[in-house]
Chain A
Amino acid sequence: MSIKNRWFALVVGLLSVALVFGAACGGDDDDDGDGGGETPSAGASATPSGGGDGDQAPADQQKISIQFPEPEFYDPHRSNFEQDIGVERMLFRGLYNLTDDGSGGVKVENAMAAGDPTINGAVYTVKLGAHKWSDGKAVTAQDFVYGITRACDPAVASPYQYLLGAGLGDVVGCDALTKNEDPAQAETLKAALGVKAVDETTLEITLTKAIPTFKTVFSLWPTFPARQDVIEAKGDAWTDAGNIVTNGPFTISAKTPGDSVVLAPNANWAGKKPALQEITIKFIDDIAAAYKAFQNGELQATSILSTDIKTAKADADLADQLVVVGSARITAVEIQMENEALSDLNLRMALSRSIDRETLNNIVYDGSHKPATYWVVEGVTGFQGNAAFEDKIGYDVDAAKAALKAYTDSGKTLPTLRFTTRDTPQRRNEFDFLSKAWKDTLGIEVTPEFVDSKTRSQRFNAEDFDLFPGGWQLDYPDIENPLVGLFDTDGGNNHYNCSMPEIDAAFAEANAATSNEARIKAYQKVETLVVTNLCGVIPMYQDGLPFLVSDKLGGVVPNGTIDAGLPGTYCVECWFVKK
């Protein structure tokens, strides 16, 4: 290669880089509109309005594509992830169904059940309505017995078995069956399970004690019915297109692993007739790319990154298609109470009161979340909100310094704390924000440990952490769910080692409550004690999830406490393409 050649190479190289710069520059001018960032966008949580059936486009246009991460299982008794559950609720229904009550709350309605259960002590008898599977066979009490047995069967290994176990569903014999390792015992234990078919349409469910949340629990995916004949004939392939038999509004017509699944209406579905004739669920993990696809019209609904909210707001087309939904999850700085320094309430208080949640949310999360000093999420009966706690644990530099002084005055030294978090751009920014706040306000050094998600969870389970941003996603919208097991001294998910006699007493009170009001009051007491004592958690924000939902798509009513994957997925039969 001659020298002259190489010089020319360099010049061409620099020129081409310059070209790219030029192109990027041109684009930036277009974006100058949002440079000021002062224009308030009211469309932030605009709800795409429903509208009557009159708006509907003709049947041949009732086709949509939506974005989802790829589900691992389509089998409700094996699923572990939100995307699995989201799709399963389009395909299957339980005895009852959770839906929006019209004012942002949640109501329980009948699905396969014909009405309320008759309760005799802890024995619940449910009459089934006239419903059919997608192959035309009737939905029977036997199908429920088989389904619930699968949820408890260790050979199936349902990750959500605990929803039917002690303390939550309380189904007689479920825990015993799950714990069994002796194959010879399996049939006996299955027979002893507290779920019986009295006849084709009568189901008898025996619990260890009466629970006020019966209808809620029996609307959840582990309690969905299942077809013994289909599953035994097809084995693990029973959820493949062509094999699958569903009892919900939709069924699977095609499945391409790694790419998409296509749903078609279940002709035998007796509930509200779906308007959509075809839903293509595209498996897209890279939601930055999904944003682009939505703009191109390839997708009618997608989740987006919170970092894209501002871009969407600034875009005239996208602004009113942006939906930000408060999800059923609080993210907190979780605390290891066994750590000597952190066992002191003054230090925890100092940490909590130096977090400017408002600015954190605006800077790191583009305002997508709701700053929170509460632990029970909005949308759940018994919600107390910031009003109850803001002045006790909220941002207040003076109070933070005073708390720190009380801590050091007792002769203790400032600790260096570990902060274990996931390695994503936003978590990085979150750490940068918090560590600087603690350093500047309190002089406390925090060393980060950035790890991948499994390592992180493993640390959490092994209780090998000091500070740990994490939270609790509600399994079902009831005040007990984010509390039971997390803050009671012996709780299975109490990795904080939060242990306070007052909290345990309040749990006992809730357990003994005879009325629902008293129960909720007792749990509110638990929440108050947890939050004001920062017993294991320093709440930061209630997660808000940003989505783009096409203005051509009607009937989508977001409800953060029951959505899974996309807004309004709890009632996909309500969706329709507008004219």
Chain B
Amino acid sequence: MATTTTEGSGSARLFVAEQELGKQRGLWGDAFRRLLRNRLATAAGALLLIIFALAFVGARWGPVARYGPDDRDYTPGAQQAGPTWDHWFGTDQLGRDLFARVLEGTRISLQIGLGTQLLVLAIGIAVGSAAAFGGKLGDNLLMRFTDIWFSIPDLLAIILLRAVLVGRDIPILTEPKVLMIVAIAMVQWTTVARLVRGQMLSLAERDFVTAARALGASRTSIVFKHMLPNTLGPVIVAITFGIPVAIFAEAALGFVGLGVPPPAASLGTLVNVGYSLIQRNTWAVVFPAAAIAMLMLSFTFLGDGLRDALDPRTR
């Protein structure tokens, strides 16, 4: 750790920066080590890596997927079949391979989960920091607004937003997945915004920020160099927990027929179709439902691990 006796504000600033850098490197390194030590979270992370690989690479790679998600088989008896060596998860009503469909559905659910959180992150950080630095009025406005937004049940708000947005000629929103991402993110961003605001307000009072400010660092540099990185820990945790929530929201709506509009089918839609055929072929529910459960469990375990790792105080 650099200690210096050199006079002058320049080196003092350097000192602060180094202090903080060291502290940060230590922080992230420690966190990562703690995460690895949590073997369940590590296992969940590894499982997620495998799922990602299957969904994004395997689905397009012959030896794994073996069938396209839209390859049909109209020969009598080839539809609604249970698992076989050829069709590992069985087939659906048009004789399509359910394994390929579940891989595709998993990819869509993951895209929705991650996409939503990206958007949530963008809106949340923007609004959260604006509120933290927008003075009393801005702060009040945001807090009152999030209060109100918190008071509508999530699913109802998403259903309404989806109904408003679907079938419009708004450029990006004609893409079904984007539509769903926007609808869910519109409901979820308030959590992150509040978190960012709270973190920033409390950080603003902390020593290193006061020091940086005293040393004449500009407002922007304080926010981007010092404060944002320090809010990241809790935000990452919130985002990790947000992914399964978004996946759940989409799957739940897909289950009642209000999910991602076709042609592509998300896991929720697959469960919906399967459930309507439950008398015929139970497998058509079991596999996509198990995939949803597995995704949500993995993200929750990983989130638990991250929370413990990034914020040891909550242990």
Contacts and interface: CB of A to CB of B under 8 A. Distances in A.
Q: Do A and B bind each other?
A: yes
Given A17-B290, A424-B257, A448-B262, A363 B280 contact: no
Nearest to A305: B276
B286 A429 contact: no
Interface string A224-249: 00000000000000000000000000
A549 B315 CA distance: 61
Best-buried of A9, A311, A359, A362 by chain B (most CB within 10 Å): A311
Interface string B38-51: 11100100000000
Nearest to B90: A28
Contacts of A28: 82, 281-283
A310 interface: yes
Nearest to B96: A432
Interface residues of B, number: 42
Contacts of B262: 423, 428, 431-432, 448, 450
Given A362-B76, A363-B95, 19 more contacts: A13-B297, A27-B282, A28-B82, A31-B280, A38-B77, A291-B279, A308-B279, A310-B80, A311-B279, A311-B280, A359-B74, A364-B93, A423-B258, A425-B276, A428-B262, A432-B263, A436-B72, A448-B263, A449-B167
Q: Is the interface of B mostly helix, strand, loop or mixed?
A: loop
B146 interface: no
B116 interface: no
B81 A363 contact: no
Interface in B258-292: 258, 261-263, 265, 272-273, 275-283, 286, 290
Interface in A6-34: 6-7, 9-10, 13, 17, 20-21, 24, 27-28, 31
A8 to B, nearest CB: 10
Contacts of B283: 24, 28
Nearest 3 CB-CB pairs, A to B? A37-B77, A6-B40, A450-B261
A10 B94 contact: no
Contacts of A435: 263
Nearest to A365: B93
Contacts of B43: 10
Interface in A411-470: 423-425, 428-429, 431-433, 435-436, 448-452, 455, 459
Interface residues of A, number: 46
Nearest to A23: B282
A450 B72 CA distance: 21
Q: Is the interface of A mostly helix, strand, loop or mixed?
A: helix
Nearest to B38: A3
A307 B263 contact: no
Interface of A: 3, 6-7, 9-10, 13, 17, 20-21, 24, 27-28, 31, 35-38, 288, 291-292, 305, 307-308, 310-311, 359, 362-364, 423-425, 428-429, 431-433, 435-436, 448-452, 455, 459
B167 A451 contact: yes
B74 A308 contact: no
B280 A3 contact: no
A288 B81 contact: no
Contacts of A3: 38-40
B171 to A, nearest CB: 15
B21 interface: no
A307 B286 contact: no
A38 B257 CA distance: 33
Interface in B41-100: 43, 70, 72, 74, 76-77, 79-82, 93-95
